[in-house]
Chain A
Amino acid sequence: MAELRTEEMVLNMGPQHPSTHGVLRVELVVDGEVVVDAIPHIGYLHRCFEKHAEALNYQQIVPYCDRMDYLGSMNNDHAYVLGVEKLLNIQVPERVEYIRVIMAEFQRIASHLVSIGTYGLDIGAFTPFLFCFRDREMILDLFEMTCGARLLYNYMWPGGLSHDLPAGFVEKARAFIKHFRPAMKELNDLLSYNEIFVKRTANVGVLPADIAINYGASGPTLRGSGVKWDLRKCEPYSVYNKFDWDIVVGTGEMGTLGDCWDRYMVKVWEIEQSLRIIEQALDTLPEGDVQAAIPKRVRPPVGEVYVRSESPRGELAYYIVSDGSQKPYRVKGRAPSFSNLSLLPEISRGYLIADMIAIIGSVDITLGDVDR
């Protein structure tokens, strides 16, 4: 029989679509129900991060780092202030770094909870979303009692922190962990090993490790493909080398290595690792003044610095060039979501349109991070 060929159709998905996680537009070329190509169009949330970095001084840039990846604000700040401190060549008290790590890990959990909850929502499970947000609110309460903000904190400053931990923080954090471990098990029973959920995500959007590396993927997207790469361990920054924890990677337990379920599950497992880090950091929290090292005027010597860190979405890096004035010459952010999104055509070819939802959700992008 002669090969049958149908005409391809172009389908527009987004920028207003409930499961594109923001204002992403994907141009789908479809042959019937099968996706032939998926071209992401970005730029709907471009907010001129680099322009602001040119125009403002070093301390004023921190809030804009917050807004880059608004689900991982603490992690963004962390990377940026580490860079500025490196430029200034100042040592911060150990307590500052410990608190930063605690906050960054709490932020990672909060971010993963949003990602897990909305992923379930995309696939059609509503209850896990409510469970995730219930637990996330508790983390936000911790942030709120520390610095007064729920989402965008401006908490880490070059050289220190805006506030020390408030009285009762450590106890409340421990209480949260005690509540949260069983809650995670509940979530796993409800969603992760749910038959319908597994059927929708296993063997879908398979990403081989070599392609992931070639595209510069990082974070859970890379680790889902079985690559053991986490900057907190492979190139420790801050005080991460003082804690005992493991890098989790995808196992291909439910289907193929590197499928959507693996990418999803890595996030679930990472939450447990973050809890381990937080527990150890709370146990060994040193004393000290968190504002002692904050410089009056931030005016780094001429030079440049490149700092890398592991944000909830992957490798987040800042390239800061100083010309010796109070304002940086240039700050470039290397956003993990951007590289991860570029994988989309690669992993969606040949799957059904309905699978696109599962694939986009599993890559876990923040559009603020993609467009900056």
Chain B
Amino acid sequence: MGLLDKQFEDGNIVITSIDNLLNWARLSSLWQMQFGLACCAIEMMAASASHFDMMRFGVIPRATPRQSDVIIISGTVSMKMAIRIKKLYEQMAEPRYVISMGSCSNSGGPYWKYGYSVLKGVDRIIPVDVYVPGCPPRPDALLEGLMRLQEKIRKESRVKKNVEGLIQPAPKVEAV
């Protein structure tokens, strides 16, 4: 944006790259899967309730994996649940993101040593984008995690990923 904008008379035009546009759209409407596992889910609920109001970031809970972009693994993942979580993740449409909330889903947390039925980290079954530490993490921490995820999305490049190797990168132009 800059010089080109001035070429148009009515000023009702914004010029940006496809990546920027797509990423902006994606990161500002991250629909979350409404899915609580354990104690951390209560903090996740608190995060979307009055005080912390996660919805102002465009995070709206959806009840089905098919409509959601981000799944927050909020709590202890037991072996029995792990299979279901993998299934749920696979049902989500691309692009999909995972936030692992709390020590339990990061690494097994307090159940690391003796928890025979607890999966020691959800990243053993699905890829995780952002880890939020804490037992439970405060809702503010979850919001921070969310913003980190948005940062990550902002740097993604759909166009480059798809045509990688096919076209030459455009020559660098110095910013004016």
Interface residues in chain A, defined as those with a beta carbon under 8 Å from any beta carbon in chain B: 15-18, 22-23, 43-48, 51-52, 55-56, 63-64, 67, 70-71, 114, 117-118, 129-131, 133-134, 136-137, 140, 150-152, 367-368
* B51:A134 contact, CB within 8 angstroms: yes
Smallest CB–CB gap between A63 and chain B, Å?
A: 7
Interface residues of B in 35-73 (CB under 8 A from A): 35-39, 41-43, 45-46, 49-51, 61, 63, 65
Q: Which one, B111-119, B125-133, B163-171, is touching chain A?
A: B111-119
Known pairs A16-B84, A129-B49; A47 contacts B115 (CB<8 A): yes
Smallest CB–CB gap between A296 and chain B, Å?
A: 24
The CA of A16 and the CA of B74, in the complex, are separated in Å by 13
What number of A-B contacts does a CB cutoff of 8 Å give?
A: 100
* A22:B114 contact, CB within 8 angstroms: no
Q: How many residues of B contact A (CB 8 A)?
A: 36
* B84:A48 contact, CB within 8 angstroms: no
The CA of A45 and the CA of B80, in the complex, are separated in Å by 8
Name the residue on B nearest A51 (C-beta).
B114
The CA of A56 and the CA of B114, in the complex, are separated in Å by 10
* B39:A152 contact, CB within 8 angstroms: yes
What residues of A have a CB within 8 angstroms of the CB of B118 in the complex?
47-48
What are 21 pairs between A and B in contact, CB < 8 Å? Answer: A17-B63, A22-B41, A43-B78, A44-B80, A46-B78, A47-B117, A48-B111, A48-B115, A51-B114, A51-B115, A52-B111, A64-B110, A67-B110, A114-B42, A117-B49, A133-B45, A134-B50, A150-B43, A150-B136, A151-B39, A151-B43
* B36:A22 contact, CB within 8 angstroms: yes
What residues of A have a CB within 8 angstroms of the CB of B63 in the complex?
17-18
What residues of A have a CB within 8 angstroms of the CB of B42 in the complex?
70-71, 114, 151
Smallest CB–CB gap between A271 and chain B, Å?
A: 18
What residues of B have a CB within 8 angstroms of the CB of A44 in the complex?
78, 80-81, 84
What are the 5 A-B residue pairs with the smallest beta carbon separation, nearest first? A133-B49, A70-B39, A134-B50, A18-B63, A44-B81
What residues of B have a CB within 8 angstroms of the CB of A67 in the complex?
38-39, 110
Known pairs A47-B115, A48-B117; A368 contacts B38 (CB<8 A): yes
The CA of A56 and the CA of B42, in the complex, are separated in Å by 26
Name the residue on B nearest A63 (C-beta).
B110
The CA of A368 and the CA of B40, in the complex, are separated in Å by 11
Known pairs A133-B49, A133-B50; A48 contacts B116 (CB<8 A): yes
Q: Mark B24-37, 1 if CB is under 8 A from A, else 0.
A: 00000000011111
Smallest CB–CB gap between B27 and chain A, Å?
A: 24
The CA of A47 and the CA of B42, in the complex, are separated in Å by 17
* A51:B39 contact, CB within 8 angstroms: no
* B38:A70 contact, CB within 8 angstroms: yes
The CA of A150 and the CA of B134, in the complex, are separated in Å by 12
* A23:B39 contact, CB within 8 angstroms: no
Known pairs A64-B110, A114-B42, A133-B45; A45 contacts B37 (CB<8 A): yes
Known pairs A16-B88, A152-B39, A368-B38; A137 contacts B46 (CB<8 A): yes
Smallest CB–CB gap between B67 and chain A, Å?
A: 12
Can you name 12 extra interface pairs (CB under 8 A) apart from A46-B117, A67-B39, A71-B42? A16-B33, A17-B63, A47-B76, A47-B117, A47-B118, A51-B115, A52-B111, A52-B114, A130-B49, A134-B50, A150-B43, A150-B136
The CA of A119 and the CA of B118, in the complex, are separated in Å by 29
Interface residues of B in 61-108 (CB under 8 A from A): 61, 63, 65, 75-76, 78, 80-81, 84, 88
Smallest CB–CB gap between A54 and chain B, Å?
A: 8
What residues of B have a CB within 8 angstroms of the CB of A46 in the complex?
78, 80, 117
What residues of A have a CB within 8 angstroms of the CB of B115 in the complex?
47-48, 51-52
* A16:B111 contact, CB within 8 angstroms: no
Q: Which of B46, B49, B65, B76 contacts A45 (CB 8 A)?
A: B76
Name the residue on A nearest B113 (C-beta).
A55
The CA of A90 and the CA of B111, in the complex, are separated in Å by 31
The CA of A344 and the CA of B118, in the complex, are separated in Å by 27
What residues of A have a CB within 8 angstroms of the CB of B34 in the complex?
18
Answer whether residue B135 sits at the interface, using C-beta atoms and an 8 A cutoff: yes
Name the residue on A nearest B76 (C-beta).
A47
The CA of A137 and the CA of B138, in the complex, are separated in Å by 12
What residues of A have a CB within 8 angstroms of the CB of B116 in the complex?
48, 51
